Every structure is written in structure tokens, then in C-alpha cells.
Amino acid sequence: MAVEAQVALSDRLRGYLEAWNALDPVTVKNLYREDGTHRGPGVVMVHPELAGSTLYGNDAIYDFAVACAAMAVESDMVVTWALEAASTSVVEYDIRFERGGEMKSEIIQWDRAKSARSTRTSWQQRANGQANPSGPARRTWYRQ
């Protein structure tokens, strides 16, 4: 599982993406502050019993990464766009599987120690490299 970037990435963003792409639960947990949050549609898919799509605390994020790793298939990540500032990274990338893939957008908010304070993910399914016919690809922006 490789991470390829078509744009320049900071070390912190590359480390974040590589840890999630490798689905190494310990490294993923250590990316986040103890009180960090992770929000995205994958949370509901993995934990339908939860009332929402947000995980609170790096222990819950670790459990989520363990569950994702158990369901994982071989994939490559191709970063197509990134914008970074001191406290925020916004990134868009494709996850490519043998039978299609997903286009994802993420917003990562960092603290001064360069740990993830919160992350928010959106994605669109792709089949055979084509955008999902249910609608156009789009970036999703969130407000804190």
C-alpha cells in the first residue's frame, strides 16, 4: 500500500496519510491527541450502533483503525491536492482498489505539538476509475 503525492506534502501530513493508508492502529492512535476526534462516513459503516459519525478520544480512534484493518484490501493512495497552514491541512486523494476506488477529502486540525486535534472526512465511491453516477465529485468543507 503506497502513498503517492502529485503535490508537495509536509512531513506531518505525509505521516498522517501513510499511517491511515497502512492501517497501523498504534501509529494511527498516536497521531491524535488523547481528546482528539475523528468524523467521517466510515465511522457509521464500521460502527452502525453509534448515534453519529464522530469518534471521541484516541482510544476510540484506535478501535476504529483496528476494525478498518480487519476489513482492508490492498490499495494505493494518490494525493491530488493539498493546502496547508500552521494549524490546518486540507487534502484530497484517491484510494485505488483493484475494482474501483474512492475520492476522499479531509480536513485535519493540528495542535502546536503537531498532533491531530480533529479530522473530518468525506468521500465519493468510484467504480473502475469513474465517478459515482449518483452525482459529481465535490469537495466538502466544514466549519468548526
Asked if residue 122 lies in contact with residue 140, where contact means CB atoms within 8 angstroms, the answer is yes
Work out the average pLDDT over 76-98: 85
Asked if residue 87 lies in contact with residue 110, where contact means CB atoms within 8 angstroms, the answer is yes
Domain ranges of the chain: 3-126
Q: What digits encode the pLDDT tens for the residues 117-137?
A: 777 777 665 444 444 333 333
In this prediction, residue 98 carries a pLDDT of 64
In this prediction, residue 26 carries a pLDDT of 95
In this prediction, residue 97 carries a pLDDT of 67
pLDDT above 50: residue 38: yes
The whole-angstrom separation of Cα 38 and Cα 22 is 17
Question: Where does residue 54 rank: exposed (0-12), middle (13-18), buried (19+ CB within 10 A)?
Answer: middle
| Share above pLDDT 70 across residues of the chain, in percent, rounded to a whole number | 79
Least reliable range by pLDDT among 3-12, 17-26, 92-101: 92-101
In this prediction, residue 144 carries a pLDDT of 29
Give, as one character, the DSSP assignment of residue 55: E
Work out the average pLDDT over 31-44: 88
pLDDT above 80: residue 19: yes
| Share above pLDDT 90 across residues of the chain, in percent, rounded to a whole number | 17
Work out the average pLDDT over 54-83: 87
In this prediction, residue 73 carries a pLDDT of 67
> Does the domain formed by 3-126 have CATH 3.40.640.10?
no
The whole-angstrom separation of Cα 124 and Cα 140 is 11
